[in-house]
Each structure stands twice: as C-alpha cells, then as structure tokens.
C-alpha cells in the first residue's frame, strides 16, 4: 500500500466543486465521492481538515455586483459555507468518519465555535475537521481561511480541489492554447495574477513556506493520489 508523504493536510473545497454538473446546489454523488476519498486518506493515518466554500449556494462577490451591500453579501456567503459543511459532515459520518464542524460564526446548535487548541485536540483524537463560516469577517475569502487555518493547525500542505486539473496560463475552457504548469513559485502566481488563490492567501502561504497543490476533484481517488505523492495537478511552492 502506498505511503502518505504528508502527515496533516488542509483540503480546500470550493462550493462550485460540490455542485457537480447541476450548476447549482449540492450534487450528492459528488458529496459521497469526497467523503469516500477522505475516508481512504484517513485510513493511511493522515490528519484531515477541510475548509469549504459556499459559491454553489451564494457567491458574495457576484451578489455585490448586483447591488447587495458587500458586508451583507459576505456574511450571506459565510452562512452558505455552513450549509455545505453540515452536508459534508453527514456524508462523511455515514461513511464511518468521525467529524467535527467548527465555525467562525458562533452557532451553538449546529457547530462548535472555532478554537485553535480544541481543533488540534480533535485532530489528535483522529477526527476530521470541517471549518465553516470563513474567517468570520467580511472581505476575506475562503482561500484566505484555508491558508490561515492550515498555518494555525500546522498542516503540511493545502490541497486545493477544483474543477480543472491544475493551474493554466489562461482559462483552458476558453483558450485551447493555455499552458498547464507542473510547478510554480508563489511570487510567479502573484506577478502573473494567476487565479489560484487570492493574493492574501498566496502571500500567507509564501510567508509560512506552506505548499499548495491544485488538482481536479472530479477524478475519483485524486485526493489519495496527491497525498501519496503522485505528480498530478500543479504545485505552488518557494
């Protein structure tokens, strides 16, 4: 059996990744696939924490463009991440994976408040963590949340699961000549304005020497492949 190359990972799931081919909401086949893959990774003895977005339900930035006040739109987006987090928890626990949902916005009947020392203790007890509610503050994306939480819990890497198989020089759907990168430096991502993670998240990772691996979530088993060191997707590092 392949051995993991990481001891503790932070998996960043976009809300859009959960909608599958539906275009909106939650595709429960995708949810089950993610839960299965996380179970397989946990079986390798790897600590798993997840930060989940809410773009499949409500995307704050686009709603701001339509006239919703930015702070209000961002808080609504944070609530969408909580819905996704609870759905993922349900799918994972049906697979036999013990989980805790921790939220930056206190909601005692649904999830635990995020406390760093408690989060680390849950990981030590072999529980998977699902971080929701973003940072709890407007103007910060779930990418920034992923970078922040990964650093706080001492993760070895951020695995960013997306709808494409890595980072390209342009949108590969719109530009067939777009070049795929196998590796990139943080500074190149910032200089080129590549849409990997936002600049705040990328800078946090650069300052703390935290690698990012961007890969395709749609292919079953990809999370385990990345964790066991297979060269898929794009790696961003120093």
The string of pLDDT tens digits covering residues 134-161 is: 999 999 999 999 999 999 999 999 999 9
CATH 3.30.530.20 fits 8-187+201-237, yes or no: no
pLDDT tier, 60 (very low <50, low <70, confident <90, very high otherwise): low
3-40 pLDDT, tens digit per residue, is: 999 999 999 998 888 887 777 889 899 999 999 999 99
Under 8 Å between Cβ of 159 and 215: yes
Radius of gyration of the chain (CA): 17
Instruction: Indicate whether 214 pLDDT > 90.
Output: yes
Q: Which two tokens stand for residue 94?
A: 């049906």
Q: Report the mean per-residue pLDDT for the chain.
A: 92
Residue 195 confidence (pLDDT) above 90? no
Contacts of 19 (CB under 8 A, 6+ apart): 25, 26, 27, 30, 56
User: Is residue 66 a contact partner of residue 25, using CB atoms and an 8 Å limit?
Assistant: no
Q: Which residue ranges make up each domain of the chain?
A: 8-187+201-237
pLDDT above 80 (res 201): yes
For residue 63, pLDDT beyond 70: no
């Amino acid at each position: 059996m392949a051995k993991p190359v990481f001891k503790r990972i932070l998996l960043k799931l976009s809300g859009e990744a959960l909608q599958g081919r539906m275009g909106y909401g939650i595709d429960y086949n995708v949810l089950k696939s993610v839960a299965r893959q996380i179970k397989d990774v946990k079986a390798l003895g790897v600590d798993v924490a997840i930060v989940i977005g809410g773009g499949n339900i409500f995307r704050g930035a686009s709603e701001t463009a339509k006239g919703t006040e930015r702070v209000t739109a961002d808080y609504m987006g944070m609530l969408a991440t909580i819905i996704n987090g609870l759905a993922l928890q349900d799918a994972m626990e049906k697979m036999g994976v013990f989980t805790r949902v921790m939220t930056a916005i206190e909601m005692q009947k649904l999830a635990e408040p995020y406390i760093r020392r408690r989060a680390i203790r849950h990981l030590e007890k072999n529980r998977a963590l699902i971080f929701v509610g973003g940072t709890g503050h407007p103007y910060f994306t779930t990418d920034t949340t992923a970078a922040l939480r990964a650093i706080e819990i001492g993760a070895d890497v951020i695995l960013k699961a997306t709808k494409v198989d890595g980072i390209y020089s342009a949108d590969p759907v719109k530009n067939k000549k777009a070049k795929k990168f196998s590796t990139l430096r943080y500074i190149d991502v910032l200089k080129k304005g590549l849409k990997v993670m936002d600049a705040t998240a990328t800078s946090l990772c650069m300052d703390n020497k935290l690698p990012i691996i961007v890969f395709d979530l749609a292919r079953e088993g990809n999370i385990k492949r990345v964790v066991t060191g297979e060269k898929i997707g794009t790696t961003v590092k120093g």
